[in-house]
Amino acid sequence: MRNFDIEKYKKEGELAYSKRADIEKLADTVTARGYNNIVIIGIGGTWAEWHPVVHVMKRYTDLPIYLENAAELCVKKDKRFLTKDSLVITASASGNTKEILNAVKMCKDMGIEAVGFSKDMETPLAKELTYTIANPCGDCEHSYVMYFMLALKLLANRGEFPNYEKFADQIGGIFDNLIRIREEFDPKAADIARAYAKEPYNIFVGSGTLWGETYLFSMCILEEMQWVRTKAVTSADFFHGTLELVEKDVPVFLFKGVDEYRELDNRVEKFCEKFTDKLTVIDIADYDLKGIDDEFKVICSPMILTALVTERLAAHYELNTGHSLEFRRYYRQFEY
C-alpha cells in the first residue's frame, strides 16, 4: 500500500496498547481523588477525535461531560461548569498546540488540575499537565485506542461500563484488523481519488459516532493538507440547507455508521441516490473485526473510518492532486 509501512504500524500499535497500565492507573488515581464532571478540551483534529469518545460515554453515564473547543473556552464568559471538582482531560500530538496550552494554563490559574496525552514527557503541554500519558505515535487510531481506554475505565470505576476488561483485552487486536481493512479498501480508495480529487466542491456527510472523523477528514485532511474545498454536515442537518446544493455532478460522500443514527444516514443515502450521479457511500457495516465482539463495534467505528479515509483515501488524494500532505502555506508557518 502506498505510503504505509506495515511493520512500523504494528510496532506503533504495540507501543500505544502498552500504555494500558499507565492509562488505567491514571483513571484509578483521578477516581480516588473524585470529580463531579468531566471537561474535555480539544481543538481542530483533537476536538474531532474526542467527539466520538464523549458520544460513547454519554451512552453509558449521566455524569455531566463537556467537550470544549480550547480557543472558545479561553474567552467564554460562562465557565460555571469548570470548577476545582472538574476532571479536565486534553491532548496534543505535538505537545505545543497554542490554544490547548492556553486553556490548560487557564485551568491551572483557576486551581484546576488537568491530565492528558502528549507526544512525550518533555513537551510544553506535558510540563503543564498534572499527569501525562505519552502518545508518541499520534495517529488517529492510536489516539482513539488510548482515549477510549481512559474514558471507559473511568466509567468502569463508576460501575457504568462493566465490560471494560473484555473491551481492553480485545482492543489490542484492533491494529491487525485495521491493516486488513486498509488492504480491502485500498483499491476502492484509489478509484475514488482518481474520480474526485480535483472536484471543485465536495459534500461530506456523517453522524453520531462518525461525525468527529467526518469533520476531521474534510477539514484537517482535505482542506488543510490538500486544499480541497469541502462542506461537512451531519446527516440530520443535511436536510436543512445542504440538500439544495446537491446536483447531478456534485460529489457527496456519506459515511454510514452502526449506531442509532444510522437511520439518518439512510435517509441521506436515499435522497442522494435520486439527485447526484456522484454518490460515494462508505459503510462501517461492511468491515468486520476479528477477535472483537460486536458490542464494541460502535466504539471501534471511528477507528475503522480513520483507517479507510484519513489514512488510505488521503494517500491516494495526495497522488492525484500532486500536492504533498506535508506542505502548508499558513498553518504553523508564522504567527497569526
Fill in the amino acid letter for 207: S
Evaluate whether residue 80 is within a structural domain: yes
204: phi then psi, degrees, rounded to nearest 5: -120, 130
Average pLDDT over residues 82-99: 96
Can you tell me the distance from the alpha carbon of 302 to that of 61, in angstroms, rounded to the nearest whole number? Answer: 20
In this prediction the pTM is 0.96
Domain count, the chain: 2
The answer, yes or no, to whether residue 58 has pLDDT greater than 80, is yes
Residue at which a domain ends, from 143, 171, 199: 171
H or E segment and range at residue 265 = helix 262-275
Same domain, 210 and 268: yes
Residues 89 and 145 in one domain: yes
| pLDDT given for residue 45 in this prediction | 94
Instruction: Give the residue numbers spanning the domain of 165.
Output: 6-171
d(CA 40, CA 26): 15
Average pLDDT over residues 277-306: 98
pLDDT at 335 over 90: no
Structural domain includes residue 333: no
User: Would you place residue 136 in the very low, low, confident or very high pLDDT band (cuts 50, 70, 90)?
Assistant: confident
Residue 274 and residue 126 share a domain: no
The angle, 0 to 180 degrees and rounded to 10, between the axes of the packed helices 297-305 and 174-196 is 40
Torsional class of 119: left (φ above 0), alpha (ψ -120 to 50), beta (otherwise): alpha
